[in-house]
Structure 1
């Protein structure tokens, strides 16, 4: 998790270095998020059909490869492609990870496990961003991409050592009830779920755009954005 947030910071720095535009960063964030909106339902349907462990290992390999690709250059189109592919991977990885995580602990401990996961996620965000902020000024963003790529080796190793036979069994829905259409019908029939989704949409749209707004502040009222040089010309999207 810390390596992921280091890469987020490094990618932000790279976009500002190449384009000097917070609007371009908004495009990058959109490309990361749009596949989740469009493909997330299919990711959930896939999570109900296929074993989680090999899928998660494959997703970690793909994420490591995408981090390595960022080391190849600073083309705007390369950044766009990596952002889009990361979003596609995330749209399938998220539901699989959620199901896999639910099977790791007993049902009565699931609430505590979710709270602990949230704490660790926040700690990774704080620590990764803090360390990345120090390193990016010394080494540039490439080191952050390399660290993130290497960090996936630990995740792949941990997943490989997990004994899935000892995990809690999660029943699967009948084939007719685990497709995308069936999921949408279920959501439509549950007002509470609709309210939660609506709140998540509002908060995600208005309250979690800090990744772009902070970049705009850095390149605007806080004159601390990386300067473009002759070797890093402004690229058009």
Structure 2
């Protein structure tokens, strides 16, 4: 199947066998990540009927990113990346099997859901910086933009599929079947990763600091001193605090604003994945794409505008096209966020540079808690509308005062 895909220019980087296997395994991990968020969020909503407690699912899922993501990026410059990825997926599988047993015996409680989200979030925090730095290690420079674009397509496409499948299984049979499906995803994904040949990585001089803490500081300083990377980091922080928390509030919008059930929730919330899939495939098909900063800037603005429009949608039918716009913006933002980072950073600093980006993503739990708390006070629509509007203003300021980011090229 992969050989046939390489004949299409959109998937040309898959001619590298190791990357092709990692890409296929990534589909299953991405699907599980998004499906799990929908299922856990709905469970908490059913147990608590609280927007704030639903938002805390995303908070616990992503709070490890602020520390473990940075640490994993540093370790990825010191230890074999493939072994770290296997460790992350073993954690995912173990936790998911344990929570499936809890569901079978009807023992689920809100605190157990939060613990599950925290543990799988820890595995995701290891995976995010390591896998993207690993992709750059295993591929030549000519393949990297295409590889990052189709990796983003996998992430966002599975966001769509995961939410549709999660919502459908919740509506049809409940959370036990949904979690059984997740166990299967992790088993197959881990098997693919274990079977993946060890790629040949060109030896590079080590710049690792004497201690992990000094290594982390060195990575952050390196990113901050590079104007383009600094701009990526600042926009990443703004989007993850002010804009991205929208997805954890979709169950609240479904139940309290649009008055729909889990089936239509899955359909609606997956539409940003559809838009992002379209956008990512378009980017992957652009063979001569070099103006990475411009795509990143446009994607970031479109992302924020889409969330602002979604927050003011009067019904779920109107929300669907607005979420497609969110997805189109996400494609440009997410694909170029990674591509700019791994192309601007020196080879021996890629893991730490991605760790710094993971630190920026790590503010999303704070954003989720903040927007969730505001939703209890103002209402979900008003809170999300206000924070996305503030985010748009801050993004515009960064793009204005960081011209090197706008001019970033491959």
For the aligned pair, the TM-score class normalised by the smaller chain equals 0.7 to 0.9
Q: 2:257 aligns with which of 215, 221, 235?
A: 221
User: In the aligned structure 1, how far is the partner of 2:248 from the partner of 2:186?
Assistant: 26
User: 2:90 matched to which residue of 1?
Assistant: 61
Q: Check the 8 A contact 1:6/1:145 in 2, yes or no.
A: no
Secondary structure of the residue that 2:257 maps to in structure 1? Answer: coil
User: In the aligned structure 1, how far is the partner of 2:205 from the partner of 2:194?
Assistant: 23
Q: 1:30 aligns with which of 59, 68, 72?
A: 59
Q: 2:241 aligns with which of 201, 205, 222?
A: 205
Structure-to-structure mapping, 1:125-136, within 5 angstroms: 125-136=159-170
User: In the aligned structure 2, how far is the partner of 1:4 from the partner of 1:27?
Assistant: 16
Two-structure CA RMSD over aligned residues (Å): 2.0
Q: 2:79 aligns with which of 46, 50, 54?
A: 50
Secondary structure of the residue that 2:185 maps to in structure 1? Answer: helix
Q: Check the 8 A contact 2:57/2:113 in 1, yes or no.
A: yes
In structure 2, do the counterparts of structure 1 residues 225 and 180 end up closer, same or farther at CA, with 3 Å as the change threshold?
same
- Structure 1 runs (4+) deviating above 6 angstroms are none
Q: Check the 8 A contact 1:57/1:159 in 2, yes or no.
A: yes
Q: 1:79 aligns with which of 101, 109, 113?
A: 113
Secondary structure of the residue that 1:175 maps to in structure 2? Answer: coil
User: 2:306 matched to which residue of 1?
Assistant: none
User: 2:196 matched to which residue of 1?
Assistant: 162
| Unpaired stretches in structure 2, ≥5 consecutive residues | 1-29, 263-410
User: In the aligned structure 2, how far is the partner of 1:206 from the partner of 1:41?
Assistant: 21
User: In the aligned structure 2, how far is the partner of 1:85 from the partner of 1:48?
Assistant: 23
Q: CA deviation at 1:170?
A: 5.9
User: In the aligned structure 1, how far is the partner of 2:84 from the partner of 2:148?
Assistant: 21
Q: CA deviation at 1:124?
A: 1.0
User: 1:106 matched to which residue of 2?
Assistant: 140
Q: Which has the higher contact order (CA 8 A, sep 6+)?
A: 1
Q: CA deviation at 1:62?
A: 0.7
In structure 2, do the counterparts of structure 1 residues 15 and 34 end up closer, same or farther at CA, with 3 Å as the change threshold?
same
- Deviations, residues 114-152 of structure 1 (Å, cap 9, x unaligned): 111111222111112112221110111221111111111
Q: CA deviation at 1:47?
A: 0.9
User: In the aligned structure 1, how far is the partner of 2:62 from the partner of 2:135?
Assistant: 22
In structure 2, do the counterparts of structure 1 residues 57 and 172 end up closer, same or farther at CA, with 3 Å as the change threshold?
farther
**Does residue 193 of structure 1 match 2:229?**
yes
Q: CA deviation at 1:153?
A: 1.5
User: 1:115 matched to which residue of 2?
Assistant: 149
Q: Check the 8 A contact 1:103/1:170 in 2, yes or no.
A: no
Query: How many equivalent residue pairs?
Result: 225
In structure 2, do the counterparts of structure 1 residues 51 and 85 end up closer, same or farther at CA, with 3 Å as the change threshold?
same
User: In the aligned structure 1, how far is the partner of 2:176 from the partner of 2:150?
Assistant: 31
**Does residue 143 of structure 1 match 2:177?**
yes
In structure 2, do the counterparts of structure 1 residues 143 and 170 end up closer, same or farther at CA, with 3 Å as the change threshold?
farther
Secondary structure of the residue that 1:220 maps to in structure 2? Answer: helix
In structure 2, do the counterparts of structure 1 residues 157 and 212 end up closer, same or farther at CA, with 3 Å as the change threshold?
closer
